[in-house]
């Protein structure tokens, strides 16, 4: 069961990936984790990636794809995996398709979590994080007992720069320009499935389970 999670930043892909991981015992893989692990271990691919990153350059698509394929060939991915945050662009998707084809393999499902931009902006701009312990809140959905104060440690709760409405809008613009075309790409491959990400977590989990069967 090889799965790609698609959807805008803030759509809840990571949350739904956790559900799949727990229910189906397959790992959720992010490119950030892969970079960190390879750089820490000093692998050849890690050294190459670090060279680009240290120079302030983007890691080339081909190298990112090599790192991902190396990771999904590890033992814990024998029964499948979830890719969250990769591919981000059509060239990355094409590189992944080609690399898997060489191994006589392919992605089984690309699950799109559909959430309108205005809902994402409200969700993300309402998020608050404790400076002390990192506990997360939402001013509307999960507010702290005392405004601005963390329930867990009494620390100050802040709006992160990443969650400011203007930043979220810019991230959504980049998503629609670079990543949204993947929806059509995987639809043409016949593996695209979609869920309504504005539903409750329980209903989303039910819909995902129906897709994965």
Catalytic residue list? 13, 88, 127, 160, 171
* CA diameter of the chain: 56
- Those residues whose C-beta lies under 8 Å from the C-beta of residue 1, and which sit 6 or more positions away, are 24, 26, 79, 80, 108, 109, 212
What's the rounded Cα separation, in Å, for the pair 172 and 8? 7
Element (H, E) at 83: strand 81-84
Distance CA 139, CA 141 (A): 6
Distance CA 81, CA 11 (A): 20
For the CA atoms of the chain, what is the radius of gyration? Answer: 18
DSSP reduced 3-state for 44 = helix
List beta partners, residue 127: 138
């Amino acid at each position: 069961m090889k799965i790609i999670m698609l959807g805008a930043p803030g759509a809840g892909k990571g949350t739904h990936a956790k559900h799949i991981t727990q229910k189906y015992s397959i790992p959720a893989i992010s490119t950030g984790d892969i970079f960190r692990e390879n750089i820490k271990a000093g692998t050849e691919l890690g050294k190459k990636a670090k060279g680009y990153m240290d120079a302030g350059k983007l890691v080339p698509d081909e190298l990112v794809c090599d790192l991902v394929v190396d990771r999904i060939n590890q033992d814990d991915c024998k029964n499948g995996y979830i890719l969250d945050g990769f591919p981000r662009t059509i060239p990355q998707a094409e590189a992944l398709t080609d690399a898997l084809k060489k191994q006589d393999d392919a992605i089984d499902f690309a699950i799109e979590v559909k959430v309108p931009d205005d809902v994402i902006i409200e969700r993300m701009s309402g998020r608050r994080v404790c400076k002390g312990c990192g506990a997360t809140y939402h001013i509307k959905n999960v507010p702290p007992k005392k405004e601005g104060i963390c329930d867990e440690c009494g620390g100050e709760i802040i709006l992160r720069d990443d969650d400011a409405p203007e930043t979220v809008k810019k991230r959504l613009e980049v998503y629609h320009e670079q990543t949204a075309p993947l929806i059509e790409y995987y639809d043409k491959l016949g593996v695209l499935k979609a869920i309504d990400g504005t539903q409750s977590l329980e209903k989303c989990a039910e819909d995902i389970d129906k897709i994965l069967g």
